[in-house]
A and B are shown apart, each in its own frame.
Chain A
Amino acid sequence: MGDLGGLNIMAEQIIFYILAVLIAIFSVLAVTSKHIIRSATYLLFVLLGTAGLYILLGYYYLFAVQIAVYAGGVMVLFIFAILLTNRPGEKVKSERKDRRIAAGITSLAGIAFCGHIIYWNINKVYSLVVPDEQKVQEIGLNLMGTEKYQYLLPFEFISVLLLACIVGAIMIARRR
């Protein structure tokens, strides 16, 4: 069985690297693409790759939510919104040079910041990962519980935030 274990780990590593490379390539393409609808499609591939990473970690619930919410919900809305805009097929013009430099500096700072955090916390994260499968029943009880490490209050606060967003959107749409 030792042979099989080695094979499994190797397969996991290979899948991880394939997913990581795909995510990296499509992230870059999503930003550099001149067609807005193509950017959206590349972003979709990034989100699907992230879902793949979740399934590799064994977080099936998170995987399903990632697909349902981002790939199935948000991306469909994005594409819908793009289709309804004036001319979705037109190429986007490049920005002015000073703006591009500013954007480059900002993204470099972002990479440095995230890299720093990841570099300093990577060992802690490794020890924190729990490989057990999370049961949906447990997740549900934790979301709806009021005890310590349970999330009813944040859950309700988020729903208030969403309600505020909806009311705001209606207000903006009505004013015209």
Chain B
Amino acid sequence: MLLEFSQPLEYTGLANWFDTTLGSWSLPVKLILVAVALLAAYAIIAMILIYVERKITAFFQARIGPNRVGKYGILQSVADVIKILLKEIIHINNVDKFLFFAAPFFMVVASMLTFGAIPFGKALQAVDFNIGVLYVTAVSSLGIIGVLLAGWSSNNKYSMIGAMRSGAQFVSYELSAGFALMTIVVLTGTMSFSEMIAKQEFCWNIFNGHISSIIAFVIYLISGHAETNRGPFDLPEAESELTAGYHTEYSGLQFGFFYLAEYLNMFIIASIATTVFLGGWMPIQIHGFDGFNQVMWYIPSYAWFFGKTGVLIFLSLWVRWSFPRLRIDQLLNLEWKYLLPINLVNILVMVILVIAGLTLTDLFPILAS
């Protein structure tokens, strides 16, 4: 009985209820409901992340952080959202109106599209593509077009420089992130997220490919962090040099879109890392300890997913407030002279590990699920 908390829709019989009462219209209704649920999750996760980030940042800097709106400032981000919705969208002269208004949507749509392919829990995945990993890397690369267009159409030198930096940074680090994911594709032999998770029941991918996997994991975290323009890699919006980079001229909800997309990108990077390296929504399982495994399954799968993702997000915040900002040439050197060559060698090592049968599941066949 308890096991079924992992699948809330099946547990409450909601899916069956739709089928019986709505008949042939159940599919369109379900599609719309899934879309609404994803949109709601998108907004709510962003609000939670903003609160968590502000609170954790405050603790890193020995402050209290938001503490006025609600107990411990829990309602702070609700207040922020209401404020940003009420703000005026300032119309600026001499900008390319069409591109100026289109740019924020690129950012939001790109992160929204990836959202559909993320497995939030057992059977909680909107679309399970056969090419999940490729789909996610492809679609997330659309966001950078929004940044470039925003920077150009603002008709402002700061925005322009910020956008160019962001573009260079994103294009270079996208390579590393893609290669790191490909290393794991070599290991698992599949690109579909659901199959990847199923194979990680007793042995997460990060342990399965030992040396190579851990290197890929670290590289993915670094380059994913760089792609979100945060932490030591926030050159595109370096406040002291560029005021706010590519979104200098944006106000109100349009700025809100950029802000939202930034936080959601952080979440998406963390959740993909969770799914690909840390077993996704799969509970911790130890082969042979059946009682322990059973107890672990009682914790719902989405709790596992959000728990693991939360740890990675905390890691990213930790990095953000611990390292000084890089210079642009250091940033590009790090990618092209260090991460990329390491990555290419790493893929070769992984291929050798898989062919020679040196992965953990090959060495200890009981670990294979």
Binding site for B on A (CB under 8 A): 1, 3-4, 7, 11, 35, 37-38, 41, 44, 60-61, 63-65, 67-68, 71-73, 75-76, 79-80, 83, 88-89, 133, 135-137
Q: What separation, in Å, do the CA atoms of A71 and B139 have in the docked complex?
A: 9
Q: Is the interface of B mostly helix, strand, loop or mixed?
A: helix
Contacts of A80 in B (CB 8 A): 148, 164, 167
> B35 CB to closest chain A CB, in angstroms?
14
B130: contacting residue among A3, A60, A76, CB under 8 A: A60
B138 touches A65 (CB 8 A): yes
Q: What 0/1 readout, one digit per residue, does chain B (274-295) give for beta carbons within 8 Å of chain A?
A: 0000000000000000000000
A71 touches B131 (CB 8 A): no
B144 interfacial by beta-carbon distance below 8 Å = yes
A133: contacting residue among B24, B99, B102, B130, CB under 8 A: B130
Q: What separation, in Å, do the CA atoms of A79 and B163 have in the docked complex?
A: 11
29 contacts between A and B (CB under 8 A): A3-B23, A7-B27, A7-B28, A35-B96, A41-B98, A41-B102, A60-B129, A60-B135, A61-B131, A63-B135, A64-B129, A64-B131, A64-B138, A67-B139, A67-B142, A71-B141, A71-B142, A72-B142, A72-B174, A76-B144, A76-B167, A76-B171, A79-B149, A89-B155, A136-B130, A136-B131, A136-B134, A136-B190, A136-B191
B145 interfacial by beta-carbon distance below 8 Å = yes
Q: With a 10 A CB-CB cut-off, give which of A72, A73, A75, A79 has the most chain B CB atoms.
A: A72
Q: What separation, in Å, do the CA atoms of A140 and B31 have in the docked complex?
A: 32
In the complex, which range does the number of interface residues on chain B fall in?
20 to 34
Contacts A7-B24, A41-B98 supplied; 14 other A-B pairs, CB < 8 Å: A4-B24, A4-B27, A44-B145, A60-B129, A60-B131, A64-B131, A67-B141, A72-B141, A72-B142, A72-B174, A79-B152, A83-B163, A136-B131, A136-B191
B130 touches A75 (CB 8 A): no
